[in-house]
Structure 1
Amino acid sequence: MDWQIIISIAAIVLLLVLSGFFSGSETALTAASRARMHHLGRMGNKRAVRVSRLVEQKENLIGSILLGNNLVNILASSLATSVLIVLVGDAAVAVATIVMTLLVLIFAEVLPKTYAIRNPDGFALAVAPAVDLLVRVLSPAVYAVQFVVRLTLRALGAHRLADNDISVEDELKGTIELHAREGTVRKTAKDMLGSILELDDVDVSEVMMHRRRVVTLNADNPPEQIVADALASNHTRIPLWRGEQEEIVGVLHARDLARELVKNDGDPSKLDIDEIAREPWFVPETTTLREQLNAFRRRHAHFALVIDEYGSLQGIVTLEDILEEIVGDISDEHDPVTAGIKPLPDGTYEIEGSVTIRDLNRRFDWNLPDEEATTIAGLVVYEAQALPDKGQIFRFHGFTFEVLERRRNRINRLRITPPESEE
């Protein structure tokens, strides 16, 4: 074997290494975490800055890597053919095709790409300087190739970019769901992150305390009675009404009440409730949670009264309600211990009708729709297209719903059988 053949074989090996470098770099740079690169760049990592810049110029990056990869692959195949002509004669083309296909597939494609996909961030940081230099050198040739490609696509009528209807929020939700399914993100963290992203999609009417559960006091009652009722309540802020229960004229704060009692030596008869009460704050029921959260922060307030488009009271919303939507239930020593959900031994659940669909979906990873109804009782009424009677059973969305208790026009309790229990 003469020196020319040895040099050619060495050149083939070098070209295969370069081909593996190009293949691995393409995989690593396209799979690298943009968020992590951005963070590292802000921390002063110059290679991360280069990675971010390369990823932003994706067409130039891919074009340069493909150009370099095809050059070394074609050159390696040509050299292999010339070497095998000397060694095996007429069968050189066939042998070179088989040998180079295996070598390129294993050592220049599968191996480097597998390694790169397992460690994309580290690989991308390692190759960033060399790839950046390659892109700069090959830019003129890449621009020429892109010009030809655009002309060809225009001639074929395929030059228009496809519309990307996926928002950033949807992309983040998909990423969170993916990591949760893979086990890298805990369910509690997934629920919290998902709830934060959905603050613009949820109205206060979906998290508020409904008016039938709101404790209110008659402002025309004697001060002694108002003080006694306020102290007997578990709530810090209590709406005051006059004339009709929906005519809210103020909000009584327990701290303000206690301060005035101290000033008057504990004598409630000396209190002027109208002077103590704070101005009520009304917000539309269509206000999103993000808007309401920002409004709470601007006003340094924790409590608002929710009204519909006609000005009728629908309920109350507090800062705690919004925080619970993000972090889950927050209970203190004054909160009721019942959550309205009772698991049964047979895998079914006895649930109060006022429990929200969002709470059930979050707690049990169900997928019940909440577009047409907020509570589970509302969903049953919507799907049944009627007010069900006690004992009626319905099946929709894979779940079985049995009405256990109904009072007047309200469903109080349901038994729900999820699909897995039925199976």
Structure 2
Amino acid sequence: MDLIASLLLIALLIAASAFFAVAEIAMAAARRLKLRQLADLGEHRATQVLAVQDAPGHYVTVVQIGLNTIAILAGIVGDGALTPHFAAALRWAGVGEERLGGLSLALSFLAVTVLFVLLADLLPKRVGMNDPERLAMRLVGPMLWLSALFKPVVWTFTRAADGLSKLFGLPQTRDDRITHHDILALTAAGTLTGAVHSSEQQIIENVFELDTRTVESAMTSRERVVWLAMDDDEVLLRTRVAEDPHSTYLVCGEGIDEVIGYVDATDMFARVLREEPIGLRACGDSGLIKKVLIVPDRLTLAEMLTQFRQAHEDFAVIVNEYSLVVGVITLNDVMSTVMGAMVAPHDEEQIIRRDDGSFLADGVTPIPDLERALDIAEWPHAGQYDTLAGFLMVMLRRIPKRTDTVTWEGWRFEVMDVDRHRVDQVMIAKVS
């Protein structure tokens, strides 16, 4: 066989091997969500690809039979077709007969191997990875035809492979369950490519965190709650509302733990415009004071949304196991947690990055926010706290004081300000 015929035969084997390589990688990399969209639009080839992905046994068998058969043929052809030409070239170069046979065989093997690795494996698989859905749909027809053509052989190998899989306890079908980790990985990849904005990625992460964050991470804490007493006179009520304007006010008895209900600021303003009294005790039977939703402090934000929806409310009081009020939460607080910096003004950010790379954080900063800012995956005594202040208390085993420090995962947490046992500000710097 002359050199041209040998090269043409090897090129044909490379093309056949590249066909099977592309068919294999395209089918494995094709995204089921995109294929389902194409199938819903009437693309029958997408339906065929989905069917193969659900039961890939025959398809994979055909691919492996083709690849291995071509590999064996390539070895035989390369040895018989290229070795004589390499031997002639080496003889012309003055190589002795005693080394001629081994060296020409080695060069033939190396040439065929390089050609197949580059042109029949690496390049086809890279092409298949770039556009897997389109290529999988284009090749599924010929591959199904080959499956039918070699059905007896394919059936034999498939049954043998199924038996070995059962023997070793391997799964028989592909697991296509999509977890929230998969979705977050996709959004992270989209952010790197520019298809997803970083703020949009943050929103998606925050949505999944609703199942893990407790209401304490988004509530207005007890000491910050503006509440009205039943016995407050109208002058005091007007002054308090004017100094601390809110949409909703908690109504209590002698103390904040004696919860009676809540009032809407709009209802109070309406009574003022109608020149009616706004004294809470005098208006007790007028419907101004409404029944308040009370929830435990261990609820997650996702459970809180369910409570709001079932009660048709957007305001709730949070109590601990001793029935003491620990804070209040609104629907807007939950949604602000989801939207993050897109809706929160700069002066309300709980953790701020400084020019030197350190951070200044509020004591009530939720742990998930710290995880993202500091890139800390694991925290000590996880589950015993929800905020930065709780982390410091657990680590110090006491109420933090000014200048107290804690070091964790290469970060130094220094308490900068404490307001009546409340951790107000914490400086977080990288440990050199």
Give CA deviations for 1:45-78 in whole Å, capped at 9, x if unaligned.
3333333222222333322211222233333444
Residue matched to 1:54 = 52
Q: Tell whether the 8 Å contact from 2:400 to 2:421 is kept in structure 1 after alignment.
A: no
Please, which runs of 5 or more residues in structure 1 have no aligned partner? none
- Structure 1 residues 179 and 233, CA gap change in structure 2 (3 angstroms): same
What is the aligned counterpart of 2:255 among 244, 248, 256?
244
Residue matched to 1:174 = 185
Q: Given the alignment of the two structures, is residue 195 of structure 1 paired with residue 201 of structure 2, yes or no?
A: no
Give the aligned residue type for 2:325. Answer: L
CA distance in 2, matches of 1:339, 1:131: 57
Q: Given the alignment of the two structures, is residue 107 of structure 1 paired with residue 141 of structure 2, yes or no?
A: no
Q: Tell whether the 8 Å contact from 1:224 to 1:268 is kept in structure 2 after alignment.
A: no
CA distance in 2, matches of 1:136, 1:290: 51
CA distance in 2, matches of 1:85, 1:352: 75
CA distance in 2, matches of 1:194, 1:64: 42
Residue matched to 1:386 = 398
Residue matched to 2:95 = none
- Structure 1 residues 361 and 16, CA gap change in structure 2 (3 angstroms): same
- Structure 1 residues 108 and 144, CA gap change in structure 2 (3 angstroms): same
CA distance in 2, matches of 1:121, 1:16: 23
Q: Given the alignment of the two structures, is residue 303 of structure 1 paired with residue 315 of structure 2, yes or no?
A: yes
CA distance in 1, matches of 2:182, 2:82: 51
What is the aligned counterpart of 1:355 among 365, 389, 403?
365
CA distance in 1, matches of 2:278, 2:212: 45
Aligned residues between the structures = 412
Residue matched to 2:140 = 128
Q: Tell whether the 8 Å contact from 2:184 to 2:205 is kept in structure 1 after alignment.
A: yes
Residue matched to 2:222 = 211
CA distance in 1, matches of 2:337, 2:146: 50
Give the aligned residue type for 1:201. Answer: T
Give the aligned residue type for 2:45. Answer: R
- Structure 1 residues 97 and 398, CA gap change in structure 2 (3 angstroms): same
Q: Given the alignment of the two structures, is residue 235 of structure 1 paired with residue 246 of structure 2, yes or no?
A: yes
CA distance in 2, matches of 1:348, 1:84: 66
Give the aligned residue type for 2:29. Answer: A
SS for the counterpart of 1:295 is helix
Q: Is 172-181 or 215-224 further displaced after alignment? A: 172-181
SS for the counterpart of 2:257 is strand
CA distance in 1, matches of 2:356, 2:10: 68
- Structure 1 residues 56 and 250, CA gap change in structure 2 (3 angstroms): same
Give the aligned residue type for 1:128. Answer: V
SS for the counterpart of 2:261 is strand
RMSD (Å), alpha carbons? 3.5
- Structure 1 residues 203 and 392, CA gap change in structure 2 (3 angstroms): closer
CA distance in 2, matches of 1:409, 1:254: 31
CA distance in 2, matches of 1:195, 1:135: 47
Give CA deviations for 1:329-378 in whole Å, capped at 9, x if unaligned.
4658xx89443545555443333322333334445655573643222122
CA distance in 2, matches of 1:209, 1:259: 26
Matches within 5 A, 1:150-189: 150-152=162-164, 158-161=168-171, 168-180=179-191, 185-189=196-200
CA distance in 2, matches of 1:277, 1:403: 41
Please, which runs of 5 or more residues in structure 2 have no aligned partner? 89-100
Give CA deviations for 1:229-286 in whole Å, capped at 9, x if unaligned.
3344321011101133112111101122233344x43544696145211111112222
CA distance in 2, matches of 1:132, 1:296: 54
What is the aligned counterpart of 1:280 among 292, 296, 314?
292
Q: Given the alignment of the two structures, is residue 24 of structure 1 paired with residue 35 of structure 2, yes or no?
A: no
Q: Tell whether the 8 Å contact from 1:377 to 1:411 is kept in structure 2 after alignment.
A: yes
The structural deviation recorded for 1:27 is 1.4
Q: Given the alignment of the two structures, is residue 374 of structure 1 paired with residue 386 of structure 2, yes or no?
A: yes
Q: Tell whether the 8 Å contact from 1:283 to 1:305 is kept in structure 2 after alignment.
A: yes
The structural deviation recorded for 1:7 is 7.1
- Structure 1 residues 240 and 18, CA gap change in structure 2 (3 angstroms): same
- Structure 1 residues 356 and 8, CA gap change in structure 2 (3 angstroms): closer
CA distance in 1, matches of 2:330, 2:336: 10
> Share of identical aligned residues, percent?
23
SS for the counterpart of 1:287 is coil
Q: Tell whether the 8 Å contact from 1:223 to 1:272 is kept in structure 2 after alignment.
A: no
- Structure 1 residues 211 and 365, CA gap change in structure 2 (3 angstroms): same
SS for the counterpart of 1:276 is coil
Residue matched to 2:91 = none
CA distance in 2, matches of 1:280, 1:137: 72
The structural deviation recorded for 1:6 is 7.4
Give the aligned residue type for 1:175. Answer: L
The structural deviation recorded for 1:21 is 0.8
Q: Tell whether the 8 Å contact from 2:301 to 2:334 is kept in structure 1 after alignment.
A: yes
Give the aligned residue type for 2:222. Answer: R
Q: Tell whether the 8 Å contact from 1:54 to 1:132 is kept in structure 2 after alignment.
A: no
Q: Tell whether the 8 Å contact from 2:219 to 2:327 is kept in structure 1 after alignment.
A: yes
Give the aligned residue type for 2:200. Answer: A
> What TM-score, normalized by structure 2, do the two folds share?
0.81
- Structure 1 residues 106 and 412, CA gap change in structure 2 (3 angstroms): closer
> What TM-score, normalized by structure 1, do the two folds share?
0.83
CA distance in 1, matches of 2:36, 2:410: 43
SS for the counterpart of 1:389 is coil
The structural deviation recorded for 1:302 is 1.6
- Structure 1 residues 391 and 10, CA gap change in structure 2 (3 angstroms): closer
Q: Tell whether the 8 Å contact from 1:29 to 1:55 is kept in structure 2 after alignment.
A: yes
Give the aligned residue type for 2:61. Answer: G
The structural deviation recorded for 1:407 is 3.9
The structural deviation recorded for 1:119 is 2.9
Give the aligned residue type for 1:355. Answer: T
- Structure 1 residues 202 and 60, CA gap change in structure 2 (3 angstroms): farther
- Structure 1 residues 172 and 339, CA gap change in structure 2 (3 angstroms): closer
Give the aligned residue type for 2:51. Answer: R
Q: Tell whether the 8 Å contact from 1:342 to 1:349 is kept in structure 2 after alignment.
A: yes
Residue matched to 1:260 = 271
Residue matched to 1:41 = 39
Q: Given the alignment of the two structures, is residue 339 of structure 1 paired with residue 361 of structure 2, yes or no?
A: no
Give the aligned residue type for 1:45. Answer: E
Q: Tell whether the 8 Å contact from 2:305 to 2:331 is kept in structure 1 after alignment.
A: yes
SS for the counterpart of 1:328 is helix
